[in-house]
Structure 1
């Protein structure tokens, strides 16, 4: 290679690396977001007032966006269509007071009619997960923000032997594989699931040798986590148990985000006050805190 050609090559490489670093820097600016889960919104128990107080605190903190962790309403599982419809309308109205984008996750209490033992609602066009999908969009999807990729998963399935279980079905599993095939392996990834993948709830509160049943955890979570093994999974955000918990293993934080409603608007749940998780992200690192937004139970 002639010296002039070598010089040109070096210059091109330098320009490329500089441009790449500049683009990476721009796409990985620090940002913050809130993970709020288990709102259980209802007209009773001053829940609207409590949720509005949480929203006011979130608006004050000015995160870039909000992710909800499911159980947005109380509830659609066992209720009539009229009750479930009114709760979705209430959630849509009150959550619109948030000043930033909201990415919703489906919880078990958003699923319409599957636990109603008095009335067969299976012929209703919004039966099961269709009510959530009609009102709030797809029950699983991804979005990207400042270099991170967020997987919002549907971790609840109807159980023919009972009511519901924690499970990721085969269709969603194939979708995850396709999404990962389009995702750079260095991209930091966060997952949101209503029902936990990993939790110490039973072991802490009921006995260290106890296992977890499929209503408390996603029964096939290992299969799902194995799909992410060759990728940069950093964070799994969870709801359902109404406790604040951080399990860190193999480089992944499994963070259960407490509950906006505490113990279903009856005060704190165990040692967890009514609150939400605030995340601050810088590059592929993050820190988080549980924010008690100051709600006191009203009777």
Structure 2
């Protein structure tokens, strides 16, 4: 009896230990997740990439949201879906891949947050190192009412919350849309981002870009630029002047997630492209991602479910 009890206790101890180590972050963040720094993305040579070279494509993901399927009790389904997406990324070899927010389901003040961050890092570190991986903050990453503290926690794990970068003659702007949605916890962050954005869009070099893209988590709007305020869009109070500013700078398209479904609209010539989730869907669109082909004079884009991705991209 004593022997059986000892074996059972040892087995339980080992099992608990394995769970603990699986959930614990290492405390060390892979350098590839810290390339958004000093308001730029260091994987790209800013001077070299300002020149148009040739057509290319990139992949836009959104809402990996580790923990959503189980209410933060497990990560298995998200791991499976993200690993499937990563296999597609490594096979297709896009110019870059960008994940538009809600990397985790838990927010920084919740106990499961670091375990979910650790799983995201573990899985996405498998992306081919030759493919730049750009991360965008969402409301789950910094909270529905972000604060300087929650943004600092995100920055420690994923780099800057807003920044810009050039790729092949295209100028790309990443915004923290959570402070656009609710700036009450960090009004100084919203003001700093706005001052920075104005300088970015007024830079004479930006005017020479073949295209200007904006990436963020929340859609500006789902279908029409004057639609009423709701959970899934930016309030009109801040949406209307920002749209005018982006259109004045000839922004070609805004890419977002958050909706866990696909949506599409236009504001003048500017496209508002909302992409479904890699993680848990909330509508008819399956888990998947968007492939965006960039030509010198325009773009084409299509959403693919994870089971319907082509073998190659022309």
Instruction: Decide: shared fold, TM above 0.5.
Output: yes
Rate the CA distance shift 1:52–1:34 in 2: closer, same or farther, 3 A: same
Residues 159 and 177 (structure 1), Cα distance of their counterparts in 2 relative to 1, 3 Å cut: closer
Partner of 1:286: 299
Which residue is equivalent to 1:175?
A: 196
Partner residue, 2:240: 222
Aligned counterparts, 1:48-59, within 5 A: 48-59=79-90
Paired residues for 1:33-182 under 5 Å: 33-42=58-67, 43-76=74-107, 79-80=110-111, 83-99=112-128, 100-111=131-142, 127-157=149-179, 159=182, 169-182=190-203
Over alpha carbons, which structure has the higher Rg?
A: 1
Listed one character per residue, the Cα deviations across residues 140-198 of structure 1 (whole Å, up to 9, x for unaligned) are: 0000011100000001138598xx89xx8221110001112223324210001101112
**C-alpha distance in 2, partners of 1:130/1:112?**
12
Query: TM-score w.r.t. structure 1 length?
Result: 0.74
Point out the structure with the larger helix share: 2
Deviation, structure 1 residue 84: 1.3
Check conservation: 1:69, 1:193, Cα contact below 8 A: yes
Residue 229 (structure 1) shift: 3.3
For the residue of structure 2 that corresponds to 1:232, the secondary structure is coil
Distance 1:250 1:28 in 2: 28
2:214 corresponds in structure 1 to: 191
CA distance in 1, matches of 2:174, 2:271: 16
Count, aligned residues:
247
Deviations 1:216-274 (A, max 9, x none): 212212222222333221010011111112213411111001110132xxxxx322111
TM-score normalised according to structure 2 size = 0.71
CA distance in 1, matches of 2:196, 2:144: 26
Change (3 A) 1:278 1:44: same
Whether the 8 Å contact between 1:28 and 1:282 is mirrored in structure 2 is no
Q: Which runs of 5 or more structure 2 residues have no equivalent in the other structure? A: 1-47, 68-73, 309-314
CA contact (8 A) 2:107 2:142 kept: yes
SS at 1:103's partner residue?
strand
